[in-house]
Amino acid sequence: MVRTPLTQPERDRGERLGTLLRQARGQRSMTEVAAAAGLSPETLRKIETGRIPTPAFFTVAALATALGISLDDLAALVTEQHAA
């Protein structure tokens, strides 16, 4: 099965999400946050750098929980930055 290429707005949204997650992580190590979310540090690194621009919902939910961010707040921040 061939995956449809992402549009530029989808890639931009993935980069914004990654930046927000990186900022929320603060001084916590990538390994610590990844373990708390049940992910590998490599997966978290790829999300934070935008190399995985469309992570699965449950991955985002696990990261939000590990970082103490509500999904509503995270969605609002991604949308807010897009509008700015």
What percentage of the chain reaches a pLDDT higher than 70?
95
pLDDT tens digits for range 13-24: 999 999 999 999
Give the pLDDT confidence of 29-69 residue by residue, as tens digits.
Answer: 999 999 999 999 999 999 999 899 999 999 999 999 999 99
Check residue 82 and give its pLDDT. Answer: 57
Please report the domains of the chain, with CATH numbers, ordered by start residue: 8-83 (1.10.260.40)
**Residue 47 burial (C-beta neighbours within 10 Å; 0-12, 13-18, 19+):** buried
Predicted model pTM? 0.86
Q: What is the pLDDT of residue 81?
A: 58
